[in-house]
Amino acid sequence: MTRKITIGVIAFFVVIILLFVQPISFENIDAGNVGIKINLYGTDKGVDNITLVTGRVWYNSWTTKIIEFPTFTQSVDYDPFVITTKDAAEFKVDPKLNYHINPDKVPQIYRQYRRPLGEIQQGFMKNTIYDAYRIAANSFTSDSVMSNREVFENRVQNILTQTLGKDGFIYDQLTSAITPPPSLRQMIDEKNTSIQARLKAENMAKQAEAEAKVLVAKAEGQAKATLIRAHAEAEANELRRKTLTPLLIQQEWVAKWNGVLPTTSAGGASLMLGIK
């Protein structure tokens, strides 16, 4: 009886141990990720070219390994570094890259680099980005980098699209944060100050010219108004002159007479109306 109990206890512990050490396991591939199954032993050792769909995946942990790769957008902020233009000016670049992985290329990426994504970002991708900036800088002068920054960054982006895209890394956005050398920065500031001063002087000259035009316009308006009034008064006088007959003049004189006859040196009085 005691022996049976002992055997039962041993069997129980063996089952427990087997449950803990048995190789069958599972992996949950989260949404926004893809998984690849890697055979650790046998003739098919390595990536077996199967992209696992999102969900729970059962596998033998003794012979198989599951690697997950995120396919949603990744943002990587790289350390600043220095690039040199073709006229030997040094610019500091502080790049920040946004990208995502083509799910169909995940097995190829792992087969080629055999590294987790974080190591790939700080290895191959970092070197590719630095090289893209250096290649682009070799075809620009310091002035052209600053005056054609958009063209310069487009050149860098085209290089990254070609080099990263062929390996399954889809370029989304790149921020360069280019900083010119202090001497060039000073020259740019002085140039901007000069341009601003010139524009201010031009604006002041235009404003003075506009104000002068307003004054001239007002003077011309006043002169025209005076001339118009003079013409109107002259025409009115001429009209009155033409319409006044001798009879009307006499009638107006009589209307204004106060009844006192004018006196002469002979002491007499006379009234000459000249009325017929």
For the chain, give the DSSP string. Answer: -HHHHHHHHHHHHHHHHHHHH-SEEEEEE-TTEEEEEEE-SSTT-EEEEEEEPSEEEEEETTTEEEEEEE-S-EEEEPPPEEEE-TTS-EEEE--EEEEEE-GGGHHHHHHHH-S-HHHHIIIIIHHHHHHHHHHHHTT--HHHHHHTHHHHHHHHHHHHHHHHHTTTEEEEEEE---B--HHHHHHHHHHHHHHHHHHHHHHHHHHHHHHHHHHHHHHHHHHHHHHHHHHHHHHHHHHHHHH--HHHHHHHHHHH--SPPPB-TTS-B-------
What is the pLDDT at residue 124?
92
pLDDT in tens, the chain (276 residues): 666 667 666 666 555 665 555 567 767 787 788 888 777 765 555 555 565 666 677 666 677 778 888 889 999 999 999 999 998 889 999 999 999 999 888 888 888 888 888 899 999 999 999 999 999 999 999 888 888 888 999 999 999 998 998 889 998 998 888 888 877 666 666 666 777 777 777 788 788 788 878 887 787 778 787 877 777 777 766 766 666 666 666 666 666 666 665 665 554 444 444 444
pTM of the model: 0.56
What is the pLDDT at residue 273?
47
Rounded Cα gap, residues 136 and 258, in angstroms: 109
Q: Residue type at 114? A: R
